[in-house]
């Protein structure tokens, strides 16, 4: 599995875990168990931050081949314009 897809997979897993903890936090909040609700909200926030991290890393890895393939074409266009 490529590193890009590995990051996407981890991001999806963290998203699932964050959703679970947000639901648990809401459940405890309704039951007025503030300490448990705060704990689950804290865990959900952490998973959300990890999800964002993996999304960013996947985007960086995805952009690398795009940047390297786009560079030669743009350099050719610049050379043609400067020669004219």
pLDDT tens by residue, 38-48: 999 999 999 99
Other Cβ atoms within 10 Å of 17 Cβ, number: 17
d(Cα 9, Cα 6) in Å, to the nearest integer? 5
Residue 62 and residue 4 in contact, taking contact as beta carbons nearer than 8 Å: yes
pLDDT tens by residue, 47-80: 999 999 999 999 999 898 887 765 555 555 555 5
> Whole domain around residue 49: which residue ranges?
3-83
pLDDT tens by residue, 5-27: 999 999 999 999 999 999 999 99
The pLDDT, as a whole number, for residue 1 is: 77
The pLDDT, as a whole number, for residue 37 is: 98
Question: How many structural domains are present in the chain?
Answer: 1
């Amino acid at each position: 599995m490529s590193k890009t897809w590995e990051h996407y997979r981890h991001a999806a897993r963290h998203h699932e875990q964050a959703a679970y903890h947000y639901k648990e936090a809401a459940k405890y909040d309704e039951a007025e168990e503030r300490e448990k609700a705060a704990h689950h909200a804290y865990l959900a926030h952490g998973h959300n931050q990890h999800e964002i991290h993996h999304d960013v890393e996947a985007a960086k890895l995805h952009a690398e081949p795009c940047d390297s393939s786009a560079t030669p074409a743009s350099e050719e266009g610049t050379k043609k314009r400067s020669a004219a």
